[in-house]
Structure 1
């Protein structure tokens, strides 16, 4: 572990030499700060951090805040997980053969839990519900006449959704943890991206015409993302 001072703050960081990296970069994550230097490069890691000081400090503070806000959940019966913005209690039942949401409970079938785990079955439930909700929202926006090919639920680490050049819509299955109006914003955002690939003025004008309050929804998602965490594997990183 190395140390340096950035904008008056003492920062600990590590250095990794990478054969895959094409340019020097700085990764900031829940695990800390890391300078990634391509093999054969004579770039000074500390000098790189100094160049990226503002971004590094900003992201480090963000992840420090995330670390404080992230719920310490356990994958066991009786634990609480968010679903559509509300806390739900995990229950394992031998009376149900299907994963389901019932009242304020996330019900998992005992036989499936025995064969896999509560964590795995809970993820399956979120995936199933996320698809149902997303498909329902897409049906409501059929009048936009924006064509897409497939809906994919992915284990994305750094984003809530994306779209591909093949006109596929990709969604992070964890979005089922967010309120429905937030999921709607994410769906609309990606639909519009199928017509406008970047975040141009025209893109945001289109989003605004569909969801006039999109800024409030986007802010909610940004502010509450630390609470929409399934497990430690969800921790994301930022790079420059």
Structure 2
């Protein structure tokens, strides 16, 4: 069976292929380029990515009704009062009160970010302006030219060591804006296993696409 894909024709300089976390393949090409040629050349890469997505779907879909938190899956149990028990991987939650859960997640993440961003900014000899926490569609975090740092609330789904990598990565951008050799040297100095971290982040990003709790949290204004 051939690869299913959607063709988008734009006045782009370089043709490219984009694969969404749910497995939708888009082929973006200039008007005079045959998309079949590009798909044919990239067939092995596309099939590999689609296999990774299918493996993630099979692995994480059965756990979609549990909250992914700190790299573990927590059971949501209805209760009169809110509470989180890391030992038993349980979140006590008043009925349908996901707003309380979202506020708690944001508070926990802000406390961690304010300490660690301040720490690594001091170590790297850089300054930042503000820290923002919001849901982002395609990124774990970002650094603006003005020195503002934006972090995805979904970082709370990650193990702490992966959050550390993202924090180091973004604070390093305050010193080196582009992914230059010096940038990666700085990241490697404080997070030597960053390539393994990047692989882990891709898997967790796929897991979150199927997580019903995080999808509901994203819908709360």
Match of 2:126? Answer: 146
Q: Deviations over 1:12-41 (max 9, x none)?
A: 3243446xx432543323243233456xx2
CA distance in 2, matches of 1:135, 1:31: 36
Matches within 5 A, 1:219-230: 219-229=199-209, 230=211
The two structures have a TM-score, normalised by structure 1, of 0.70
Tell me if the contact between 1:153 and 1:173 (Cα under 8 Å) persists in the aligned partners.
Answer: yes
Judging by fraction of residues, say which structure has more helix. Answer: 2
8 Å contact from structure 1 (residues 149, 166) kept in 2: yes
* 3-state SS of 1:149 partner: coil
Partner of 1:187: 167
Matched, 1:72 2:62: yes
Pick aligned residue for 1:106 from 83, 91, 101: 91
Residues 1:22 and 1:94: Cα distance change in structure 2 (over 3 Å): farther
TM-score computed with the length of structure 2 as normaliser: 0.75
Instruction: Give unpaired runs (5+ residues) of structure 1.
Output: 1-9, 235-240
- Give the one of 110, 116, 136 matched to 2:115: 136
Q: Does 1:94 align with 2:85?
A: no
1:157 and 1:183, CA in 2 relative to 1: closer, same or farther beyond 3 A?
Answer: same
Q: How does 1:158-177 map to 2 (within 5 A)?
A: 158-177=138-157
Distance in 2 between residues matched to 1:143 and 1:27, nearest whole Å:
38
Where in structure 2 are there 5+ consecutive unaligned residues?
216-221
180 and 14 in structure 1: CA distance in 2 versus 1, 3 angstrom threshold: closer
Whether 1:28 aligns to 2:19 is yes
- Verify: 1:11 aligned to 2:5, yes or no: no
C-alpha contact 1:13 1:34 (8 A) present in aligned 2: no
Matched residue SS, 2:2:
strand
| Counterpart in the other structure of 1:83 | 69
Equivalent of 1:61 in 44, 51, 70: 51
Instruction: Name the count of aligned residue pairs.
Output: 208
Instruction: Give the CA deviation at 1:189.
Output: 0.9
Structure possessing the higher relative contact order (Cα contacts under 8 Å, 6 or more residues apart): 2
More strand by share: 1
* Closer/same/farther in 2, CA of residues 15 and 102 from structure 1, 3 Å limit: closer
Higher Cα Rg, which structure: 1
Pair 1:17–1:151, CA change in 2 (3 A): same
1:44 equivalent to 2:29? Answer no
- The alpha carbon displacement at 1:199 in A equals 2.4
